[in-house]
């Protein structure tokens, strides 16, 4: 498996908002940790169904979300990779978002078993 190529293809699928293509990369027992939530790890979703629902919510909340300026780092021996990007998008209320962030990926047998997302907290002037 070429993890770097997989990370690039995942980024393309996210930018097309293609949930079917995205989820084809994920294992049945995958885990997604999103940046926001009440726990130190943000929000955690387990299993392909729940991960898909969480990602669908992201696309609903930021309908034009885009991950640009992406670069990918890989440790083939450890079956891990990092995608670094700039997220841009506009919420339904018109609020524009632009943040730098990254995803830490873990793979098993060519499938994503873990995606842990982080992004910068941008403070808005009051």
* pLDDT tens track for 6-61: 999 999 999 999 999 999 999 999 999 999 999 999 999 999 999 999 999 999 99
Give pLDDT tens digits for 103-113: 999 999 999 99
Q: In CATH, which of 3.40.50.1220, 3.10.450.50, 3.60.70.12, 3.40.50.300 is domain 3-119? A: 3.10.450.50
* Cβ neighbours around 33 below 10 Å, total: 20
Taking the C-alpha atoms of residue 78 and residue 105, their distance in angstroms, rounded to an integer, is 11
Residues contacting 8, CB < 8 A, separation 6+: 70, 72
| Residue 99: pLDDT band with limits 50, 70, 90 | very high
pTM of the model: 0.93
């Amino acid at each position: 498996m070429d993890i770097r190529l997989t990370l690039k293809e995942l980024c393309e699928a996210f930018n097309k908002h293609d949930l079917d293509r995205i989820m084809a990369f994920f294992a049945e027992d995958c885990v997604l940790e999103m940046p926001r939530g009440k726990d130190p790890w943000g929000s955690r979703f387990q299993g392909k169904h729940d991960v898909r629902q969480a990602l669908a919510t992201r696309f609903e909340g930021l309908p034009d979300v885009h991950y640009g300026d992406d670069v990918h780092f890989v440790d083939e021996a450890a079956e891990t990779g990092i995608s670094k990007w700039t997220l841009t998008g506009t919420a339904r209320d018109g609020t524009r978002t632009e943040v730098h962030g990254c995803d830490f990926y873990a793979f098993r047998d060519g499938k994503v078993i873990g995606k842990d997302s982080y992004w910068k907290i941008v403070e808005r002037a009051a």
